[in-house]
Amino acid sequence: MNEIELLSQLRHIHLVSLIGYCNDDTEMILVYEFMQHGTLCEYLYGSNNQPLPWKQRLEILLGAARGLHYLHAEIIHRDVKSTNILLDEKWVAKVSDFGLSKVGPTGISTTHVSTMVKGSLGYLDPEYYMFQRLTLKSDVYSFGVVLLEVLCARPPLIRDLDKNTASLVCWFKKCYDEGVPIEQIVDPFIRDSITGECLKCYCKLALSCLHDDGTQRPTMSQVVGDLEFALQLVVSEEGSQFGKAEKEGRYMKGPQFSQFMSDEESDLHFVRSHTYKESTLSAWPSSQEHPFSEIPNPRPRSYSCQNLKVYI
pLDDT tens figures, 155-193: 999 988 888 789 999 999 999 888 888 778 999 999 999
Q: Give the CA distances from residue 172 to residues 14, 281, 301, in Å, rounded to whole numbers and listed in that order.
A: 28, 19, 20
Establish whether 79 is a catalytic residue.
yes
- Among 79, 139, 187, 226, the one annotated catalytic: 79
* pLDDT 10s digits, 221-255: 999 999 999 999 999 988 776 545 444 444 333 33
Average pLDDT over residues 87-100: 94
Give the pLDDT score at 7.
73
Q: 218 in a domain, yes or no? A: yes
Q: 15 in a domain, yes or no? A: no
Does the predicted model carry a pTM greater than 0.85?
A: no
Q: Report the CATH number that the domain containing residue 94 is assigned in CATH.
A: 1.10.510.10
CA distance 82 to 92: 14
CB 299 within 8 A of CB 153: yes
CA distance 93 to 53: 15
Q: 158 in a domain, yes or no? A: yes
Asked whether residue 107 carries a pLDDT value surpassing 60, the answer given is: no
Q: 108 in a domain, yes or no? A: yes
Q: 303 in a domain, yes or no? A: no
Work out how many domains the chain is built from and give that number. Answer: 1
CB 37 within 8 A of CB 58: no
What is the chain's alpha carbon radius of gyration, rounded to the nearest angstrom? 20
Q: 7 in a domain, yes or no? A: no
Cβ-Cβ contacts under 8 Å for 80 (sequence gap 6 or more): 68, 95, 123, 139, 142, 143, 146
Orientation of helix 168-178 relative to helix 196-209, angle to 10°: 120
Share of the chain above pLDDT 70, in %: 72
CB 181 within 8 A of CB 256: no
Q: 172 in a domain, yes or no? A: yes
Q: 98 in a domain, yes or no? A: yes
Query: Of 44-48, 204-208, 276-280, which gets the smallest average pLDDT?
Result: 276-280
Containing structural domain, residue 108 = 36-283
CA distance 282 to 187: 16
